[in-house]
Every structure is written in structure tokens, then in C-alpha cells.
Amino acid sequence: MTLTKRIIPCLDVANGRVVKGLNFESIKDAGDPVLLAEKYSKEGADELVFLDITASQEQRETIRSLVSKVAQVIDIPFTVGGGVKTLQHARDILLCGADKVAINTGAVKNPQIITELMNLFGKQCVVVAIDVKRNYDYAEGKNIFSEDSKKFWFEVFIYGGKKETGIDAIEWAKKVQQLGAGEILLTSIDKDGTKDGYDIILTKAIVETVSTPVIASGGCGEPLHMLDVFKKTDVDAALAASIFHYETHSVDRVKEYLKENNVDVRL
Amino acid sequence: MKVAIFDYGAGNIFSLKVALEKQGATVDVIKSFDQADNYSGLLLPGVGNFDPALQNMRKNSKTTFQEYVQDKIPVLGICLGMEMFFEKSEEGKEQGLSVMEGEVVILPNKFKIPHMGWNNLKLRKSNPLMDGIPDSSWVYFVHSYRVKPKNDDIIVADSDYGITVPAIVNRGTLYGTQFHPEKSGKVGSLMIQNFLRECKK
């Protein structure tokens, strides 16, 4: 099998600028989305992900124009998400040039939208983003995991990581796959912005639960973390933001490093 | 040169349009074959679902695909567009365009579905579409079905996903790619350039 592992720079966008937060909060400017997209595409990124983190009604127009500008400068696939709740909104984004739409809160609130999107656009367009946080309070019927002798379960959060749902992430992943998700973008809220590495336990658990491709997200602070997640889990892609934005590491250098360490990547 | 993308109303045809324009083509988006004259080439884009796409095409055109193309106009079918060339698909109940013999089957569920990401091409034979493109080049796939041509002769290149996936097919002026050239970086641009050269002939 020669399918490569994908390296995906993520651009969190607010008011037309790329920003970066810590644990989904305290935001910092990181550049022009179109210029960054072009740069990453040239450096050999396998895909790009754009998340409109403001995702308000007023921002809808900004995102549409941004999506079409990005589509004109890159020739790799890209996913757009943030606040997508209706078929019409998803369609708008796809017609502006995005290849896939990521839905998160919209899917939790109305799971049927996953199937409706699949029927209209095909599975390949439908990315379900799942934001997850470890919950250390015992709850009946949840899938329990443990690390350093502490027990926890994985809870799905919505509204940009602000609101808990009581939903077990393992069960939710199974369900979105059944409903027609073509891919799962899995973000650990605990790890996001920490530069501590991906949540390996979470990633492994989800990858072993579903047969759709999974993108690991949250916590990447250095290329070693990508190597780690690829070596310890069968995840398909690793997403990172800040390590690329601040020129700490270029996409091509990261991929060379992974290749030197026997991860199949496109170079 | 003017080419047309057929829009069956499902999703992103913008990237394909931009990719063609970057190679110097003028691109119209059409929704019917009626009165769609003077195009040097036709593209069937790769987003959507088998039945809705075919129903949409049939509903909006009195002229059939075969009548329109008449084995003369070069056609590039991408992903679903290529699958539509065949007689039937496990994705739906509609009859395919039936310009290539064979069927479309779902990928075995022991593999991750969709087959999504960058994979190599394994060239079986030379083809105008592959001019200047080295064997083993990376291209971007995203699909859940694969084609099973009745006659393997039409397969130009395969890809290995644990199972052999026909990646490029060609019969006469009809070209199909299971992957997305418009999303496959420089290799894909070159392929689009090659297709446009065929349109010029």
C-alpha cells in the first residue's frame, strides 16, 4: 500500500486573518490566509484546513470571498469549516472552491445533516470535526480509558470547545461514520495549543473504532510529535498550525524528517 | 480554446475551472448539452453522487451525452465523471453513460473508505495524458468506488491501495481519471495541459 500520510497545515481564521489560540482561547495574529495557503501549497502541504473560528452570520461573506481567493492560488485539496449548520451554507462553501466542508456543532445538533450532505455532494466532501476533552468524572456507560492511573472518558464539546455535550466521543465517531462522514477531524481540546504532542490515547481509540480516514489535531509543537502520532497510531493525517505559521518549521522540512524516519510521505 | 465543464449541481467545480484557466483555456460551465456548440473539449467533474448526477444530466438535456460527444470531442471524466462512463455503479440504480464497458464497484470494506490521499500511479502504457509525467508520480485520490472495465486494455495506469485501483482509463477521445488532476499539484496541472492539447487537435 503506497497511500502516504498527509501533513495538513491548519489556518484558524477570524475576521479575515489567520489567528492562533491556546486551548481554544487567547488569540494571536498569525498572518494573511491567502499568502499562507499559497506558501504551504508550494512547500508540499498535502491539504489545507480553514476553520472560521468567529463563524458569525456577518462573517459568512468574508469566508466565501476568502475561500475563492484561496482556491485560485493552490492546487491541493482544502477543507473549510466553522459554523456550518445548513445544507445551503455547506453548498455555498463548496461552490466557492472548497473541496470538503467540516461540520462540528451543526452535526451534533442535527446529525441528519451528515447524511444529507453525503447524498448531495458525496461522502468525500463531508468532514465531521470532533472536539474532545477528557472527562475525569465517572459516568455510566462511557468508554473508560486511563493514563498514569487516572481514569477518564472522552467527551465531545461543541461551540468551539466551549460547551460540553455529555456525548462519548467513541460512540459519536461510530455514529458519524454510519451517517456518512467521509473523514473525521479529531481535535483534543486538552492538547490544543500546548505544543505537548497529540493525544495519542484519543487518536488511537478513534482510529481503531472507525474505518474512515482520521486527521489528528491539537498539540503539535514539533515534528517529533507528528512522528509520534504516526508511529503509535494508524492515523491518516496530522494537522498542525503554529509550528508552520511562525516559520519554526517548513512543511517540506517536516516531511523530509518524517521520511528519514520511515513514514511514507509525498515528497 | 474553449472547453465546457458539465455542472450536475453538486459541489466544487471552481477548482477545476481555475486549473483549466491557468493552462490558458476559456471555460464555460454548462448544465445541458442542448445548444452547447463549439467547445473543443468537455469535462465531467468529480463531485457528487452517481444517481443525482446522471438524473440531473438527463433531466436538463434532450441531447444525450453520446449524441453530443459523437466520439469526436475529447472528454475528461474525473472521479465520479469517469465512473459515469461505465454501464452501472453500486453507488446507484441509474444506468451509466455506457460509453465504456464494465461496472463500478465499492471498495472492499477491509480498507479505509474513502481511499483518500496521495498515491502513486503505476503506468501500464504510454498515453497522451501522461506526456512528460514520470511513472510513480503522486496524485490525489478521494473515492469510495473503483471501476471494473470489462476489457483491461482501456486501463492506462493503476494505483495500489492494497487492491489495484484503475487510475486512468482511455478509449478513443474519452479519458477518465479516478484521482483529481485539479488537486494534484504540478503533476495534475501537466495532465490538464496534456488534455487541453488533445482538445486542440
Name the minimum distance, in Å, from the CA of A168 to any CA of chain B: 23
**pLDDT mean across residues, chain A:** 90
- Per-residue pLDDT at A201 exceeds 90: yes
Contacts of A183 in chain B (CB under 8 A): 114, 116
Residues of chain A contacting B, Cβ within 8 Å: 1-6, 41, 46, 68, 71-72, 75-77, 91, 94-99, 118-125, 182-183, 211-213, 236-237, 266
Q: What is the pLDDT of residue B167?
A: 98
Looking up cell 492562533, which residue turns up? Answer: A20
Least confident interval from A10-24, A236-250, B119-133: A10-24
Mean pLDDT of A233-238: 97
Interatomic CA distance for residues A174 and A207, integer angstroms: 10
Show the 3-state SS of chain A: CCCCCEEEEEEEEECCEEEEEECCEEEEEEECHHHHHHHHHHHCCCCEEEEECCCCHHHHHHHHHHHHHHHHHCCCCEEEECCCCCHHHHHHHHHCCCCEEEECHHHHHCCHHHHHHHHHHCHHHEEEEEEEEEECCCCCCCCEEEECCEEEEEEEEECCCCEEEEEEHHHHHHHHHHHCCCEEEEEECCCCCCCCCCCHHHHHHHHHHCCCCEEEECCCCCHHHHHHHHHHCCCCEEEECHHHHCCCCCHHHHHHHHHHCCCCCCC
Would you state the CATH architecture of domain B2-200?
3-Layer(aba) Sandwich (3.40)
Q: What is the pLDDT of residue B95?
A: 97
Which grid coordinates are listed for B36?
Answer: 452547447
- Per-residue pLDDT at A187 exceeds 80: yes
Is residue B41 helix, strand or coil? strand
Which of A1, A3, A68, A92 to probe by mutation at the B interface, max B CB count within 10 Å? A3
Ramachandran class of A217: left when φ > 0, alpha when ψ lies in -120 to 50, beta otherwise? beta
Tell me the pTM. Answer: 0.90
Interatomic CA distance for residues A145 and A147, integer angstroms: 7
Q: What is the pLDDT of residue A24?
A: 56
| B130: CB partners within 8 A, 6+ apart | B121, B123, B156, B157, B168, B191, B194
Contacts of B186 in chain A (CB under 8 A): 75
CA angle A45, A50, A52 (to 5 degrees): 165
Nearest chain B alpha carbon to A88: B11
CATH code at A6-260: 3.20.20.70
Contact A120 B49 (CB under 8 A): yes
**Confidence class of residue A228 from pLDDT cuts 50, 70 and 90?**
very high
pLDDT in tens, A205-217: 999 999 999 999 9
Of B48, B118, B186, the CB nearest to A122: B48
**Confidence class of residue A158 from pLDDT cuts 50, 70 and 90?**
very high
What length is written for chain B? 201
| A185: CB partners within 8 A, 6+ apart | A49, A79, A81, A102, A127, A128, A129, A130, A215, A217, A239
| A37: CB partners within 8 A, 6+ apart | A11, A48, A70, A73, A74, A78
Contact B160 A124 (CB under 8 A): no
**Confidence class of residue A186 from pLDDT cuts 50, 70 and 90?**
very high
**Confidence class of residue B2 from pLDDT cuts 50, 70 and 90?**
very high
Nearest chain A alpha carbon to B165: A1
Name the minimum distance, in Å, from the CA of B160 to any CA of chain A: 6
End-to-end CA distance of chain A: 17
Interatomic CA distance for residues A246 and A9, integer angstroms: 12
Is residue B115 helix, strand or coil? strand
**Confidence class of residue A1 from pLDDT cuts 50, 70 and 90?**
low
Q: What is the pLDDT of residue A231?
A: 97
**Confidence class of residue A138 from pLDDT cuts 50, 70 and 90?**
confident
Interatomic CA distance for residues A213 and B107, integer angstroms: 14
Q: What is the pLDDT of residue A96?
A: 87
B160 touches chain A (CB under 8 A): yes
Interatomic CA distance for residues A124 and A122, integer angstroms: 6
Q: What is the pLDDT of residue A177?
A: 96
- Exposure string over A32-71, b if 16+ CB within 10 A, otherwise e: ebbebbbbbbebbbbbbbbbbbbbeeebeebbbebbebbb
Is residue B2 helix, strand or coil? strand
- Per-residue pLDDT at B8 exceeds 80: yes
Interatomic CA distance for residues B186 and A57, integer angstroms: 37
Contact A46 B11 (CB under 8 A): no
Name the minimum distance, in Å, from the CA of B149 to any CA of chain A: 22
Q: Are residues B92 and B164 in contact, defined by beta-carbon separation less than 8 angstroms?
A: no
Of A130, A119, A62, A124, the C-alpha closest to A93 is A62
